[in-house]
Structure 1
Amino acid sequence: MDDSASRPTLPEGVRLRSGRIQIYFSRNGKSHHITLPHPVTAEGINAAAKIRRDLITKAEWGILTDNDIAHAKGDFVVDDSVIVSDGVLFQEVAQKYLKHCDANLDSKKDYVSALNKHWMPNLALVPVHLITSDMIRDIIADSEFKSDKTLNNCLVPLRGVFEKAIELRLVTPADNPMAMIKNKKVQTGLPDPFTRDEMNALLNWLDKNLEGKDRFYYWYFEVAFWTGCRPSELTALRWNDIDWFNGSVIINKSRVRGIEKQVTKTHTAREVYLNDRSKRAFEALNDLGLSTEYVMICPETNAPFYNEKPSRLRLTDAMKQTRVRHRPAYNARHTYATMLLMADVNPVFVSNQLGHSLQMLIKRYGRWIHGDQNKLEMSKLTTD
């Protein structure tokens, strides 16, 4: 007998069948219909709704097991006084954190991925106030993080979840388990710019060997080497961002994985001044007539770039052919920065051109600020 008369008062996915409570849901192409051992009371129905949510959560995270189903059906000793555990679950706080997180879309996708892969399988159904630092350390020890930097990145959303729990007064600051979890120390590498001779060799090869539509990439790298713009900034650049009269470009947008954002990586707009070579490159790109809106249009697709792979492959070819030591194409930006500093350009101006703070510029490029002076100083130390 289907007790459908009671259905309007029942939670979603809960129904009464022959005087018993049944829950049902579908996830990942599979339907589940589970009859529970709980009494047909208000408490039993509320417990059924909670059990359904927990099973759905496990199904969504890919951790639902036959044992979970058997446990829900009552293949265990039932204590009617404690039907479900008390407390707000980690996964509920995580969803709230993601909903309120003001990170950009790209970062939020990374947070979701980190939570799904490393934290949800172990913590999703644990009341957030019961999670300890030892539990988190055990998860870290059992997980295979590719590097310490990867671990540090995955700890960002985990900290965010517990900050949200504190904000919701589910955990006190004194009981925050993340207070005992420290980031791993990661050695920061020095920039590895191309020398001016290497840059010229690469650009000369591109100039002589790229023909037809591929000719675009020669001008692309003329702009990259002589403006220091990030690849994400170049692919978002529009023609109306160029001030032809004053010889400058406004950098205030970026494009990452095909998604355009109205901010740069550092959330700071800047005006980049052009020299003769970057001006000539922009004029040549304009003459190509690929687009009336975007400066950089992928010649293979006639659409804005999804990522920097096509341009990177061209520079990789140039490095192989010229025997220039391989470095990421991003290092065109480092090359511009170090050329300015080696030419004794004011560091404040350089930091403004790159969109760095002066402190960050000195931290990253300090060894180039004095040009060849460092070598001159070392030459004073004789070994005779």
Structure 2
Amino acid sequence: MGVVNSRNGKLVLQFRYKGIRCREQTQLLNNKPNRNRLERLLKNIEAEILLDSFDYSKYFPNSSSIKRFIEISQRELASKQYFDSPNSPRFEEFAKTWLIEKQIEWSKGHLIVVEGTIDKYLNPIFGSKKISAINKAQILQFRTILAKVPGRNGGFLSPSRINHIMTPLRMILNEAADRYDFTSPWKHIKALKVPRSDVSPFSVDEVERVIAAAPDDYKCYFITRFFTGLRTGEIDGLMWKDIDFVNKTLSVNQSLVLGEVSGLKTFGSYRIVSLIDRVVDALLEHKARVGTHDQFVFTNEKGGHLSHQRVTRGVWYPTLNKAGLKKRNPYQTRHTYATLLLASGESPEWIANQMGHTTTTMLFRVYSRFVPNLTRKDGSAFEAFLLNGGQR
């Protein structure tokens, strides 16, 4: 909001225009009539600025600032003409082209997820806008809106979920900027800070309670999940041909996502997992009961592939409830496997290989804080190790 001040007994007008602080000296003496006159003038100026009809030269024809604002207006006009160019595609049109080009790079499941994000969140806001006209302020406003969108369990969208929605927007805008030679508005926009991973592993006693409470048809499934650390898609896509009962190993070669078998995301995810006797025995018993006419180890009641949503809602959560345990997602079986291996003293490098990690970095960053809760935490293990001459 502008003000009327005085300098050396003369009145001065101060206001902001196009984000710039303007200061215009007048020859009017500092008295009440002149102040009232300038305050009325200032109201007219601010109203015209608000209506985008303000002409600086009309009010201050001799001002040195006129040249500066003429240059700004010329840049704005050139920018507007560029944005209105018929060569600039709409966001929705470019997004369709971009998705088609990504089909060769992405799995069907990932493509469906990204396409769903674009249709649900991005197109309703940006779809009709020309891709080169989207600016940083609109992007940040969109992110603010997302933070108020209702999420699951009565809350709002998490920072992680918001970042996942913003990722395809960033990729689309940056790719369009590269192709149509304009500056991407995605500049100095950082991802939202995400809280530490939601890791809540089961204790050994809790694992046994879950297995005991599981339906007979799913006991082997749960035993395998808890004691191999397979991801959901990996265990759902596990085939009999991948299990070596002689050497007690299973090979992780594919994943089942949205009903489609596909390769794994990273090279390190392809691995051979060593099986403890309990898993081998459970798989042999399961094999004797269901036979090997199905290629998948675990199937639904009709012999078809598993749907992880149905297993989660219809089996997993009811089993936890029966066992008297708090609600945790099925991925915690993988976290449980990692923490139990660490607590048992297995080599971190071997554990990382079992989990499909290329290094031990993630292993220690995510899981190590849970190990003291599962083992001694008073230094006695270290003391015993030294007293035993460096032997376990």
Q: Which residue of 2 aligns with 1:364?
A: 366
Q: Deviations over 1:313-366 (max 9, x none)?
A: 334333323323332222122211111111100011001101123111111112
Alpha carbons of structure 1 residues 121 and 373: separation in structure 2 relative to 1, 3 Å? closer
Bigger CA drift: 138-147 or 351-360?
Answer: 138-147
Is the 1:294–1:304 Cα contact (8 Å) retained in structure 2?
A: no
Corresponding residue SS for 1:260? strand
Matched, 1:170 2:181: yes
SS of residue paired to 1:298: coil
Matched, 1:307 2:315: no
Return 5+ residue gaps in structure 1 as ranges.
Answer: 1-81, 380-384
State the structure with more CA Rg.
2
What amino acid maps onto 1:364 in structure 2? V
Q: TM-score, normalised to structure 1's length?
A: 0.68
- RMSD, aligned CA: 2.8
For 1:120 and 1:354, the matched residues in 2 are separated by 38
Contact 1:341–1:350 (CA under 8 A) maintained in structure 2: yes
In the alignment, which residue of structure 1 is the partner of 2:135? 132
Post-superposition shift, 1:291? 4.0
Within the alignment, does 1:114 sit opposite 2:112 as a pair? no
Q: Judge conservation of contact 2:268–2:356 (CA < 8 Å) in 1.
A: no
Q: Which residue number corresponds to residue 159 of structure 2?
A: 148
Query: Which secondary structure does the structure 2 equivalent of 1:86 belong to?
Result: coil
- Equivalent residue, structure 1, for 2:319: 318
**Match of 2:377?**
375
- Return the match for 1:161 from 162, 165, 172: 172
Count how many residue pairs are aligned between Structure 1 and Structure 2: 289
After superposition, the Cα gap between the structure-2 partners of 1:151 and 1:315, relative to the gap in structure 1 and judged at 3 Å, is closer
Q: Deviations over 1:167-223 (max 9, x none)?
A: 31432xxx21112322111102352111001111222333xxx4xxxx220111111
The residue type equivalent to 1:165 in the other structure is A
Which whole-Å CA distance do the structure 1 matches of 2:261 and 2:126 have between them? Answer: 34
**Equivalences for residues 65-144 of structure 1 within 5 A:** 85-89=85-89, 90-101=91-102, 102-143=105-146, 144=148
One-letter amino acid of the structure 2 residue matched with residue 110 of structure 1: V
Instruction: Report how far residue 266 of structure 1 moved.
Output: 7.0
- How many Å separate the matches in 2 of 1:96 and 1:111? 13
Q: Match for 2:317: what amino acid? A: T
What are the ranges of 5 or more consecutive residues in structure 2 without an aligned counterpart?
Answer: 1-81, 150-156, 382-392
**Aligned-partner Cα distance in 2 for 1:190–1:119:** 27
Letter of the 1:203 partner, please give it: I
- CA distance in 2: counterparts of 1:202 and 1:237, whole angstroms: 22
* 150-159 or 129-138, which deviates more: 129-138
| Matched residue SS, 1:303 | coil
Aligned to 1:276: 277
Pick from 177, 189, 198: which aligns with 1:181? Answer: 189
Preserved CA contact (<8 Å) 1:254 1:265: no
* Cα contact 2:232–2:331 (8 A) shared by 1: yes
Partners of 2:300 and 2:129 lie apart in 1 by 51
Q: What whole-Å deviation, never above 9, does each CA across 1:260-305 have from its counterpart, x for those lacking one?
A: 1122577620000011001101101211235434343434221111
Report deviation, 1:376.
Answer: 1.0
CA contact (8 A) 2:300 2:306 kept: no
1:116-168 Cα offsets, whole Å, 9 max, x none, are 22222332333322221112223333444422222211111111112221331
User: Is the Cα contact below 8 Å between 1:343 and 1:371 reproduced in 2?
Assistant: no
Residue identity (%): 24
Equivalent pair of 1:128/1:165 in contact (CA under 8 Å): yes
Q: Answer yes or no: is the 8 Å Cα contact 2:223–2:282 preserved in 1.
A: yes
**Which residue is equivalent to 1:62?**
none
Structure 2 residue matching 1:168: 3-state secondary structure:
helix
| Distance in 1, Cα, partners of 2:368 & 2:337 | 14
SS in 1 for 2:261: strand
1:205 to 198, 209, 213: 213
Give the secondary structure class of the aligned counterpart of 1:272: strand
1:308 Cα deviation (Å)?
A: 4.8
Q: Distance in 2 between matches of 1:227 and 1:326?
A: 21
Q: CA 1:140/1:264 → structure 2, altered by over 3 Å: closer, same or farther?
A: closer
Please list the CA deviations of residues 249-269 of structure 1 after superposition, one character each: whole Å capped at 9, or x if unmatched: 000211122121122577620
- Greater alpha carbon shift after TM alignment, 155-164 vs 108-117: 108-117
The separation in 1 between residues aligned to 2:375 and 2:304, in whole angstroms, is: 46
